[in-house]
Structure 1
Amino acid sequence: MNHLFLHCRPGFEKECAAEITDLAGELGIYGYSKTKESSAYILFVTHEPDGASQLIKMLRFRKFIFARQWFACAEMISDLPVADRVTPLLAGAQGFGEVRELVIETVDTNEGKELSGLCKKFTAPFEKAMRAASLFSAKSNMRMHLVFISGTQAYLGVSPVNNSSPWPMGITRLRLPKEAPSRATLKLEEAWHHFIAAEDWDERLGAGMRAVDLGAAPGGWTWQLVRRGMFVEAVDNGPMDKNLMETGQVTHMLSDGFLYEPKKPVDWLVCDIVDKPARVTSMIIKWFTKKYCREAVFNLKLPMKQRYMEVKKCEERIVSELEKAGFRVDIQFKQLYHDREEVTGHLRVF
């Protein structure tokens, strides 16, 4: 297989293409991307006959910023007969060998959403056909992806279960809690799901911890911290949600988030301030070099052009400055489903 299918946010195909070209090149695997504006996916075609299979084994999925999900695949399967899509797709699936599970997807576009009904109806008969063909095995580490581009066009491929997103299309489906002050609350919840393993939540997001939320009003991110039982310094000149303040876990600091400094170190810093990425980066560096916090989630609002390069520049600067200060750095960026013209960063030092 020499094709990689990568899901991404509509409008960020160029960034996704630049990213896979860069990461694959670092491993000595070269190729080119097929992109279509606002299609919500790209195809990366490697020059090596088995380049895609090598990449999904050698490249760590957590390195991706703009790619939501990926899998190695062959060419698009076209001209699927509406009366019997199972037979040609099963023939294609048999070329990939045994898999642990099947996920049937669309792309994240309006056209893709219109195909969701087809995906639901097709799942049971296709799974039945795969079982009859002995294509499922609990010992396999591979997941099969079937992505319908239209009713007669689809891609089939595989990804390692332990080196890909656990969610279909790479999208974490979350419900907005009625009590949350804003939809922004879902950004922080998704970030935790993406960056922190579930078994680590009790230790790293435990009750009684202390946190600072910069640019907190009206309290979407603060609400998540309070929900985990933390005590929060909510920093913003704007008003905070009254119900949040009544919990007794929030202290509202009327201050500019860029100027605020805690009197004592805290466990967590979270920041969703709308400003230039370079300025947010400088603030993050200051908080960690001064040991104001141990862990952080923050957003970088992206420019209109060179968005991938801007994120990499900020990442390299953070790593360089903190390593000079003697820290070992664990940093990761991701354009989450609930992000728009931004990416979310997670930083932890040792």
Structure 2
Amino acid sequence: MLNQLLLYCRSGFENECAAEAMAKAEAVGLAGFVKAKPRQGWVLLNLYQQDGALPLQQQPFNQWIFARQWVACLPLLNQLPVTDRITPIVDAVKQLPLCGTVQIETPDTNEGKSVQSLTRKISAPLIQALKKAGCLTNKENSQKPTLHVFFISGTSVLVGISPANNHSPWTMGIPRLRLPKQAPSRATLKLEEAWHTFIPKPQWDQQLAPEMTAVDLGAAPGGWTWQLVRRGIKVYAVDNGPMAEDIMATGLVEHVRADGFTYQPKQAVDWLVCDIVDKPARVTAMVSRWLTQGWCKATIFNLKLPMKQRWQAVVQAKAALMDALQQANLSYQIQIRQLYHDREEVTVYIGP
């Protein structure tokens, strides 16, 4: 029944998401094929095994790179009557386990946005009908799966579930972050989203504590430095370009005019962050040096992907990082995600 895994992704990265899906399936002994169209913002992995999507969802979702959300789904509901879309959706949901919450979603594309006026109108009556039919609990229950109703168009819908505590908590897998007026660039949202993605919020006070120290390579004009300073962290901002005056006025930033690839800290810091535009292999080698030399305790950095073979570039970068850490006998966790605020890049976290 649930032999399809729906994966939301960034428009234009369907091939990378599809390649990752096939690799994940093969790793757990599943076989299938992928349906993916350019710029549609989602991928459908079809598995030959009955309920084949469920074993995949037993794996950690936070180890996926290009998928924003995953949904073990039923066959496509197509040609829904415009006079009554709710009844066939509820009838389909009755085949699924009891769910705790529901997310009514669309692809993150222009076509998807055109359906959002419909989803806003149908949301309340659909939820009411689902509760009346016994498909949803009357209150949020974190131990029940989340129900996803994914409107591809006004008459085509995919319905399925994601496991409790092992999925993206955000609707459409997109965190709703506001750009602070004081921040010097939109790049500031990349680091904030990375923290939300990689570091559980209850651990922020411990892992992002005031009086910690950080190096920001390629810092100018200070989007990432601004986030660190807001947490009370002392920052060495390394860049030959100018830093925003407001950030320098905090007294928490030392501007070092130097090349980020050749800079070496005078003493070890808690954090290394880096958003330099360069080849993934060069950035990976630089970060590996920081970790193996003991210059930082944890790092968040971006890898700008090539136009072609982007999936292969990420696989090679992760393998190089793991090899460097293993050779140095260092134990770290590595997570890589294409964040919502990323574009032609992925964000890497390496920490304890």
TM-score in terms of structure 2 length: 0.97
Map 1:190-209 → 2, pairs under 5 A: 190-209=193-212
1:302 maps to which of 293, 301, 305: 305
Deviations 1:255-289 (A, max 9, x none): 00001111010000000000000000010010001
Matched, 1:317 2:305: no
What residue is the counterpart of 1:253 in the other structure?
Answer: 256
**CA shift digits 1:206-259 (9 cap, x unpaired):** 111100000000000000000011010000000000000000000000000001
Aligned counterpart in structure 2 of residue 171 of structure 1, from 171, 174, 178: 174
| Number of residue-to-residue matches in the alignment | 348
Paired residues for 1:66-77 under 5 Å = 66-77=66-77
- Please list the CA deviations of residues 150-204 of structure 1 after superposition, one character each: whole Å capped at 9, or x if unmatched: 1111100001021110011111111000000000000000000000000100000
Q: 4+ residue stretches of structure 1 with deviation over 6 A?
A: none
| Structure 1 residue 110 corresponds to structure 2 residue 110 | yes
User: Which amino acid in 1 is paired with 2:115?
Assistant: L
What is the rounded CA distance, in whole Å, between the counterparts of 1:151 and 1:134 in structure 2? 25
Moved more, 314-323 or 229-238: 314-323
Give the TM-score of the pair, scaled to structure 1: 0.98
Tell me the equivalent position of 1:128: 128
Q: Secondary structure at the match of 1:268?
A: strand
**In the aligned structure 1, how far is the partner of 2:313 from the partner of 2:277?**
15
Cα deviation, 1:12-41, whole Å, max 9, x if unaligned, reads 000000001001101001110001000000
SS in structure 2 of the partner of residue 95 of structure 1: coil
Contact 1:323 1:329 in 2 (8 A): no
Contact 1:6–1:70 under 8 Å retained in 2: yes
2:12 counterpart residue number: 11
User: In the TM superposition, what are the counterparts of 1:37-48 in structure 2 within 5 Å?
Assistant: 37-48=38-49
Counterpart of 1:239 in structure 2 is 242
Cα deviation, 1:105-129, whole Å, max 9, x if unaligned, reads 0001001011112111111101101
Displacement of 1:139 in angstroms is: 7.0
Query: How far, CA to CA, are the matches of 2:300 and 2:272 in structure 1?
Result: 7
State how far apart, in whole Å, the 2-side matches of 1:77 and 1:273 are. 45
Q: Counterparts of 1:317 and 1:67 in 2: how far apart (Å)?
A: 22
Equivalent position SS for 1:179:
coil
Distance 1:171 1:328 in 2: 30
Partner of 1:186: 189
Deviation at 1:84, TM superposition (A): 1.0
The one-letter code sitting in structure 1 at the alignment partner of 2:120 is K
Residue matched to 1:54: 55
Matches for 1:223-234 after TM superposition, within 5 Å? 223-234=226-237
Contact 1:31 1:46 in 2 (8 A): yes
Report how far residue 140 of structure 1 moved: 4.4
1:84 aligns with 2:87: no
Alignment gaps of 5+ in structure 1: none
Contact 2:15 2:36 in 1 (8 A): yes
CA apart distance, 1:312 = 1.1
2:119 match: 119
Partners of 1:194 and 1:207 lie apart in 2 by 20
Task: Measure the CA separation in 1 of the matches of 2:143 and 2:221.
Answer: 47
Where does structure 2 lack aligned partners over 5 or more consecutive residues?
none
Tell whether 2:155 aligns with 1:152: yes
Kindly provide the amino acid, as one letter, of the partner of residue 183 in structure 1: R
Aligned-partner Cα distance in 2 for 1:24–1:150: 28
Mapped to 2, the partners of 1:50 and 1:177 lie a distance apart of 44
Match of 2:343 in 1: 340
Contact 2:98/2:144 (CA < 8 Å) preserved in 1? no
Taking a change above 3 Å as real, the CA distance of residues 250 and 139 of structure 1, as seen in their structure-2 partners, is: closer
Give the equivalent residue in structure 2 for 1:220: 223
Secondary structure of 1:96's aligned partner? coil
